[in-house]
Chains A and B, each alone.
Chain A
Amino acid sequence: MSASVGIVEARRAQFEEPFRFRSGAEIPRFELMYETYGRLNAARSNAVLVCHALNASHHVAGTYAGDDDNVGWWDNLVGPGKPLDTDRFFVIGNNYIGGCFGSTGPTSTNPATGKPYGADFPVVTVEDWVAAQARLADRLGIERFAAVIGGSLGAMQALQWALAYPERIGHSLVIASTPKLSAQNIAFNEVARQAIVTDPDFHGGHYYEHGVVPARGLRIARMIGHITYLSDDAMMEKFGRQLRRAALGFDFDIDFEIESYLRYQGDKFSTYFDANTYLRITKALDYYDPAGDFGGDLAASFARARAAFLVVSFKSDWRFAPARSRAMVKALLDNRRIVSYLELDAPGGHDAFLLEDPRYHGALRAYFENIEL
């Protein structure tokens, strides 16, 4: 039966070598946080890389000693007997470069100044994240991943793995994602960024030196994000027009439950997430467009891929709607790649990829079971 991976420990890989970003910027050294679950087999053929989306981290599964409530963000998928079975696979979670959970990012000390990088940390891209993950794979002695899996932004990494390192990945699992953002997606990101950079506590990105964080901006950015993660139906079902207080207040305090929820999510987020990282993640999303170098021809950009693909979308996801996933499926079919596609009529919106739907998890379980090691 399925169980938790139990108590896990985060690890830090230090790289005393420069990292060059897609932008051309370079940092002299870097660190990546990661966790592992299960055991690497003798043939080193059972490694699976899990890539996180916007606000998650390397803590994919299990809990920390003395912190039972800190459960990994994809614990319902990863563990002994779970769809991504750690009795069979060696699973790796990592915090991407530029992140704010211990990997080198804007909050890290800039060796040149002795102060946090802040605004001076380079703009990161999906390509950069994957290049850094490849260095981590080298460090861990993993020549080839059995699979790379992610949802949303994490799925862009799973896709990029198949494009950048076609010989190093057996299967790419691309869930609730898109091969590029639409103008509307970029527009939402820009509103989030503007909320942050116009916060008086932002100080051009060097807020650490002032002992403040642009919490108001970060809070609004998170509220906007949350609206796009849920479907209209899911939000209506969860909150409806329920009032938070006995009657309408005829003021601008919280009337409706949804307002309370968004404020709560925004407040919580602003206490643990770094605004500079948030800015960079949204840029990474905006910039990702593998077809861009191929005149917009997605199929041409996928020609390099050798992995087998599983593409999954959710009908209620209006952020990255199924049509975006179908475009990827078509590009793979045009290249005669091995691909399966799940288009689930699930209500959860974009966040459905994190939920435990028996059809979804059943398919993932079967898919992983069929991977030959």
Chain B
Amino acid sequence: MTRPDLETIAHWVAPGARVLDLGCGDGSLLRHLWEKNQAHGYGVEIDDAEVLACFRNDVNVLQLDLESGLALFQGGSFDYVILSETLQTIHRIEFLTREMLRVGKEAIVSFPNFGHWRDRLQVLLGRMPVSEELPHQWYNTPNVHLCTLADFEDLCAKLGATIRERVVLHRGRAVRVLPNLLGSLAVYRVTA
């Protein structure tokens, strides 16, 4: 696991917890959570190659489209519902966030902070931002809904959700001063 947000998430997940990892990629977070503290659960992924990688990683994976919601999952059936660096690719974010808060006792969300100064600067200079966290060009990006820390916190307020904890990172290091300007990656714990 090389992504810094995953370290933060793994640190938060309690031993033996039931976890649903949305947009789980190759399942390495779930595998890590299992090996580290016997937290178990399922990944949801739509991409064929990633799903196959999950099988090879020996994690339970469900090939489903997140845009259709979490209808297969009962309310409160998971300790944590994780959405790591996937939020920005979702069309119906408000709907999915509600679904996460329904299914999980707690939602853990990480996303690239579009408020980071380099992104702001590139926009000021008249270009769509390209960075480590946002490596795609505007015409080939899978990202459809980029947001800043302030934007996400507004959404939580609108949904009546409570932010329990927030970690803001840049290049793997915690950012405590001016996080919405100096942080490039945000990780939140949210409850209904």
Partner of B55, one of A334, A343, A345, A362: A362
B118 to chain A, nearest CB (A): 37
For B60, list chain A residues within 8 Å (CB).
338-340
Cross-chain contact A333 with B77 (CB below 8 angstroms): yes
Question: Which of the candidate stretches B61-69, B107-115, B127-135, B176-184 sits at the interface with the other chain?
Answer: B61-69
Closest to B20 in A: A333
A342 at interface, CB cutoff 8 A: yes
In angstroms, Cα B60 to Cα A326, docked, is 15
Majority secondary structure of chain B interface residues (helix, strand, loop or mixed): mixed
Partner of A366, one of B56, B63, B64, B71: B56
For B73, list chain A residues within 8 Å (CB).
333
A207 to chain B, nearest CB (A): 46
Report, as a range, how many residues of chain B touch the other chain: 10 to 19
Majority secondary structure of chain A interface residues (helix, strand, loop or mixed): helix
Cross-chain contact A343 with B64 (CB below 8 angstroms): yes
For A336, list chain B residues within 8 Å (CB).
18, 77
Closest to B49 in A: A359
For B62, list chain A residues within 8 Å (CB).
329, 339-341
A330 at interface, CB cutoff 8 A: yes
Closest to A368 in B: B55
For B18, list chain A residues within 8 Å (CB).
336
Binary flags per residue of A317-341, CB closer than 8 Å to B gives 1, else 0: 0000000001001100110101111
For A338, list chain B residues within 8 Å (CB).
60
B141 at interface, CB cutoff 8 A: no
B90 at interface, CB cutoff 8 A: no
For A343, list chain B residues within 8 Å (CB).
63-64
A344 at interface, CB cutoff 8 A: yes
**Given known A333-B72, A333-B74, A341-B61, contact A366–B55 (CB-CB < 8 A):** yes
Cross-chain contact B72 with A366 (CB below 8 angstroms): no
Interface of chain B residues 116 through 162 with chain A (CB within 8 A) = none
Cross-chain contact B74 with A359 (CB below 8 angstroms): no
A367 at interface, CB cutoff 8 A: yes
B108 to chain A, nearest CB (A): 20
For B64, list chain A residues within 8 Å (CB).
326, 341, 343
In angstroms, Cα B18 to Cα A343, docked, is 23
- Total count of chain A residues near the partner, CB < 8 A: 20
For A339, list chain B residues within 8 Å (CB).
42, 60, 62
Cross-chain contact B63 with A341 (CB below 8 angstroms): yes
B51 at interface, CB cutoff 8 A: yes
Interface of chain A residues 28 through 83 with chain B (CB within 8 A) = none
In angstroms, Cα B42 to Cα A330, docked, is 12
Interface of chain A residues 283 through 342 with chain B (CB within 8 A) = 326, 329-330, 333-334, 336, 338-342
**Given known A329-B62, A333-B77, contact A340–B55 (CB-CB < 8 A):** yes
In angstroms, Cα B64 to Cα A342, docked, is 8
Closest to A334 in B: B74
A184 at interface, CB cutoff 8 A: no
**Given known A333-B72, A333-B73, contact A359–B52 (CB-CB < 8 A):** yes
B31 to chain A, nearest CB (A): 12
B67 to chain A, nearest CB (A): 14
A370 at interface, CB cutoff 8 A: yes
Of A336, A340, A367, A370, most B-chain CB atoms within 10 Å: A340
A371 to chain B, nearest CB (A): 10
In angstroms, Cα B73 to Cα A334, docked, is 7
In angstroms, Cα B45 to Cα A363, docked, is 14
In angstroms, Cα B48 to Cα A359, docked, is 7
Closest to A310 in B: B55
For A341, list chain B residues within 8 Å (CB).
61-64
In angstroms, Cα B157 to Cα A309, docked, is 39
For B54, list chain A residues within 8 Å (CB).
340
In angstroms, Cα B61 to Cα A340, docked, is 5
B13 to chain A, nearest CB (A): 18
Cross-chain contact A330 with B63 (CB below 8 angstroms): no
B82 to chain A, nearest CB (A): 16
For A345, list chain B residues within 8 Å (CB).
48
For A370, list chain B residues within 8 Å (CB).
55, 58
For B71, list chain A residues within 8 Å (CB).
330
A164 to chain B, nearest CB (A): 24
For A359, list chain B residues within 8 Å (CB).
48, 51-52
Closest to A326 in B: B72
Cross-chain contact B52 with A362 (CB below 8 angstroms): yes
Cross-chain contact B74 with A366 (CB below 8 angstroms): no
Interface of chain A residues 232 through 256 with chain B (CB within 8 A) = none
Closest to A299 in B: B74
| Sample of 17 more A-B contacts, CB < 8 Å, known A336-B77, A339-B62, A341-B63 | A326-B64, A329-B72, A330-B71, A330-B72, A333-B77, A340-B55, A341-B62, A342-B63, A343-B64, A344-B48, A344-B63, A359-B51, A359-B52, A362-B52, A363-B52, A366-B58, A370-B58
Sorted from nearest, which 7 A-B pairs have the closest CB atoms? A366-B55, A341-B62, A330-B72, A343-B63, A370-B58, A363-B55, A366-B56
